[in-house]
Amino acid sequence: MENPQPPKAFPVSWDQFHRDCRALAWRLSSQGKWEAIVCITRGGLVPAAIVARELGIRMIETVCVASYHDYESQGALQVIKPVDHNVIDLNAGKGSSVLVIDDLVDTGKTARVVRDMLPDAHFATVYAKPMGRPLVDTFVTEVSQDTWIYFPWDMGWQFQPPISTNTQG
C-alpha cells in the first residue's frame, strides 16, 4: 500500500505575515470607503488589527466560527458568535462598506457561512486556496489546496527538516 504524499508545508514568519497583511491593506485602500471590519476568529484577528491600523478603521467586530478543531482537519462548522446586528444594519443597502477579514480561505465552508450573514460585504483574506478562492474578493497569495500554512502564532522555534527529506521518490 502506497503512503499518501504529505501535505506541502508553507511556514509563515511574523515578519512575512505582517508584510502580507500590509499588502492586503494596500490593495483594499483603493477599493472602497470602509466603515467597519468583521474579523473571523481566531485567524482573522491579527490581519484585521493590521488592516484596521493601516486603513484607519475603528469599528471592528468579530464573528466566531470554529472549523479546525484539532489543528489538522476541518470538522463541522460551529457559529459561536454571530455578527452584531448594528454592523449588519450598517452594511444593508450600502454596497460593500464592511470588510470581512480572515487569514485564509481554504475550502470556503467558513466563507459561505459568513457571506450568508453579510452578503454585501467585501471579503478579504491574506491567503487563498483554489477551492475557496471564488468566495474571496481580495487576497494576497494563493497556495495549492494540498498546502498546510503554518501561521506564526502556531509555531515555536524548532528545527525544520529539508524539503528533500519529506518527499518520496
Annotated catalytic residue 116: no
Tell the residue number behind the cell numbers 477551492, with chain if given. Answer: 131
Instruction: Fill in the DSSP letter of residue 72.
Output: S
CA distances 12 to 8, 20, 61, 110, Å, are 13, 10, 25, 22
Please count the CA atoms within 13 angstroms of the CA of 71 that sit on its side-chain side: 5
CA distance 86 to 90: 6
Annotated catalytic residue 20: no
Q: Which listed residue (20, 70, 84, 103) is catalytic?
A: 103
Annotated catalytic residue 146: no
Is-contact 60 36, C-beta < 8 A? yes
Report residue 163: phi and psi, to 5°. Answer: -55, -40
Cell numbers at residue 34, please? 470602509
Q: Which listed residue (70, 106, 120, 137) is catalytic?
A: 106
Cell numbers at residue 136, please? 474571496
Q: Which listed residue (20, 84, 89, 102) is catalytic?
A: 102
The residues that are catalytic are 102-103, 106
